[in-house]
């Protein structure tokens, strides 16, 4: 199985973090939204007010696909900006 989830409280407990829970939760939410943990896709899951973090093991191909998509998106935005600038 390449997917699992933990409650945020369990992650806090197991991490040994000395940060207050509220700050730990904010940091974790940021890490999930940034999706910057190598080899894993992270997901913020709210189950009736109980927060869980989903972890899914990914291959390097999946990460490369995401990078390529982001590159293509940025390239399109730059070209659109350039066209708008040239039009004015």
Nearest CA to 14 out of 23, 24, 29, 22 is that of 24
pLDDT in tens, 25-72: 999 999 898 887 778 889 999 999 999 999 988 866 666 777 888 888
Residue 2 pLDDT > 70? yes
Flag whether pLDDT at 1 surpasses 60.
no
Mean pLDDT along residues 10-16: 93
40-47 β-sheet, strand order = 3-7, 50-57, 40-47
Phi then psi for residue 60, to 5 deg, are -65, -25
Structure tokens at 25: 């939760």
């Amino acid at each position: 199985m390449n997917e699992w989830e933990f409650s945020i409280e369990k992650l806090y407990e197991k991490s040994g973090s000395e940060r207050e829970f509220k700050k730990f939760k904010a940091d974790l939410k940021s890490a999930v939204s940034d999706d910057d943990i190598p080899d894993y896709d992270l997901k913020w899951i709210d189950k009736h007010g109980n927060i869980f973090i989903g972890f899914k093991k990914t291959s390097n191909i999946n990460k490369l696909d995401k990078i390529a998509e982001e590159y293509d998106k940025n390239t399109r935005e730059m070209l659109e900006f350039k066209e708008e600038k040239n039009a004015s």
